[in-house]
Amino acid sequence: MEEVSTFTNKTDQTSQDLLTGSEVLLRCLLMEGTECVFGYPGGNVLYIYDAMVSNPDFKHILTRHEQGAIHAADGYARSTGKTGVCIATSGPGATNLVTGIATAYMDSVPLVVITGNVPTTVIGTDAFQEADIISITMPITKHSYSVRDVHDLPRIIHEAFYIASTGRKGPVLIDIPKDVSNHKMYYHPSNKLNLRGYSATPSLDPTEIDKLIRAISESEKPVIIAGGGVVYSNASNELLKFVNKTKIPVTTTLLGLGGFPSAHDLWLGMLGHHGTYTANMAIQNADLIISIGSRFDDRVTMKVDGFAPNAKWIAHIDIDPAEIGKIIKTDIACVGDIKAVLGYANTKAKPSKSSSWISYIQENKSQYPLRYKDSETELKPQFVLEMINSTTRGNAIITTDVGQHQMWVAQFYKFNHSRSLVTSGGSGTMGFGFPSAIGAQVGNPNRLVISINGDGGIQMCAQEMAICSINNIPVKIVVINNQVLGMVRQQQEIIYESRYSQIDLAGSPDFVKLAEAYGVKGLRASTKAEAYHIWQEALETPGPVLVEFIVPREENVYPMVLGGTTLDQLIMGDFE
């Protein structure tokens, strides 16, 4: 049993107040430091929404769809490191959150998801708007609560925040029946929890870390794979120190981008399915692989039995022991918080024997850079990303949807800071990019937030432009418009011998007019000259702006590694 202090009383409350469950909920959220809740009301959460009327300290943003609410809470959490919160009613309101819960679960994002339910007296009778959301979401939540007694509500809320934000982070669901939200109780603020059987952070095993240090001293071709765990554990500085001490080159996963500075000489770019030639070849020739907060997912390893064939040692640093050895056989298992593991490792780390290896890698970086065929007559999407990168100097918060544009962001935007990329990695959720930018902007009001989307994904949650307009949320919304489902088209071209099926997005709305209909300024470019001009205009315009870039339909993302092949079997496109 672990006793923990999880919050401080941030509001002036009397020690004994007779409150409804809804009032208790709002007070507990404020005590947890919740800055904003994203949600959508309905019949079975109306007591909760009624309590908001008399609580001026409570900030809520009304989205236009429950999926927009949970993606916004997710973007807030990823970009700030705090726990995001969203609310939806029972039945279809709750089930509309499922995609967002799965998205957060796959990427270990801390969320507290609050759903209403029918009154306890009719649960299980197929009452109006009843759904067993606990059972539906059990595989995609870290933990779930069904509140049946209002007196349990304070404890449950504080436990939920603690569970969501500690260890391997993830979404926690709290389902509150309508009558429970209106029952009254004498509220006693408390800051102590007792969680039987829950150990948030495993203790370090120094012997395994020492084994890693010895392997580094013997290694001549080491490579670090830095994953999202580096970002989530706020271990970027420790990783940088570790690399500078050991002289080990670093490749990052999609979710690890920003966790290691892209300007560093030892950064190799992203690895995997659309990784750089340098990163993929380094993995295939390395004698030591050190995975730090990366779970060896299939987009990183590709053909598992051909992954890192020359490695004498595979080391894995992760807070979740279930990930160790799950996909790739591990020789050195360092279980623990990455910040703590690297902190200890840095006390003993020494340079590896990597000078010749680094020369080989630098040669590959020089000979096989990321490149594309530029055009004087067409606006290439890669050029657009290079332009955005140069004008923001890699310092913006970038959110993406899923598809070709996501990979071009990963390749051509050079992130300088941790928590600067907000993207759906494991789940690959279309519709995520734009609402997640709203949450990121709410959590980072003084940062430039740019949402980069394809013309397919933007249409899944485009209605959230309304709240940007109403609340003057100054997200810059980029639409890379190739009038097609680009990543599907690319795979159909390469894998399915150009047999194209159901990818044509002709008939999509005029995105500039759509933006203007919501009260958001809209701009469009189809040439380089226009792109420079309207992008500067967008950056200089206060408030939200949508910028549409018309790009070629046939442009592909390269390099590319096909499923069932190894990382060194890259397709280089025009530069084979």
Q: Which of 346, 339, 299, 337 is CA-nearest to residue 318?
A: 337
487 is catalytic: yes
Strand locations in 133-205 (E): 143-146, 171-177, 184-187, 192-195
Phi-psi domain of 379 (left: phi exceeds 0; alpha: psi -120 through 50; beta: other): beta
Q: Which of 277, 279, 284, 273 is CA-nearest to residue 252?
A: 279
66 is catalytic: yes
* Strand, coil or helix: 404: helix
Q: Hey, what amino acid is at 245?
A: K
Q: Rounded to 5 degrees, what are φ and ψ at 48?
A: -65, -45
The single residue listed with the structure tokens 């029972």 is 90
Bond preceding residue 559 cis, omega within 30 of 0: yes
Helix H or strand E encompassing 381: helix 381-392
129 is catalytic: yes
Q: Max alpha carbon distance in the chain (Å)?
A: 73
Catalytic residue among 13, 129, 362, 483: 129
Which residues are CB-contacts of 446 (< 8 A; sequence separation ≥ 6)?
Answer: none
Q: 548: which strand partners?
A: 479, 524
Q: Which residues of 453-488 are buried (b: 16+ CB within 10 A; e: fewer)?
A: bbbbbbbbbbbbbbbbbeeebebbbbbbbbbbbbbb
Q: How far is CA 119 from CA 128, 131, 146, 511, in A?
A: 11, 12, 12, 43
Catalytic residue among 52, 387, 430, 487: 487
Helix H or strand E encompassing 78: helix 66-80
Q: Strand 397-400 relative to strand 192-195: parallel, antiparallel, unpaired?
A: unpaired
Q: Which of 401, 412, 344, 323 is CA-nearest to residue 372?
A: 412
Q: Which residues of 300-309 are buried (b: 16+ CB within 10 A; e: fewer)?
A: bbbeeeebbe
Q: Which of 544, 406, 524 is CA-nearest to residue 464?
A: 544
Q: Strand 143-146 relative to strand 171-177: parallel, antiparallel, unpaired?
A: parallel
Helix H or strand E encompassing 289: strand 288-292
Catalytic residue among 128, 184, 363, 554: 128
Catalytic residue among 32, 66, 323, 386: 66
CB 67 within 8 A of CB 38: no
d(CA 374, CA 469): 36
Q: Strand 313-318 relative to strand 288-292: parallel, antiparallel, unpaired?
A: parallel
Q: Quick count: other Cβ atoms within 10 Å of Cβ 340?
A: 19
128 is catalytic: yes
Which residues are designated catalytic? 66, 128-129, 178, 487
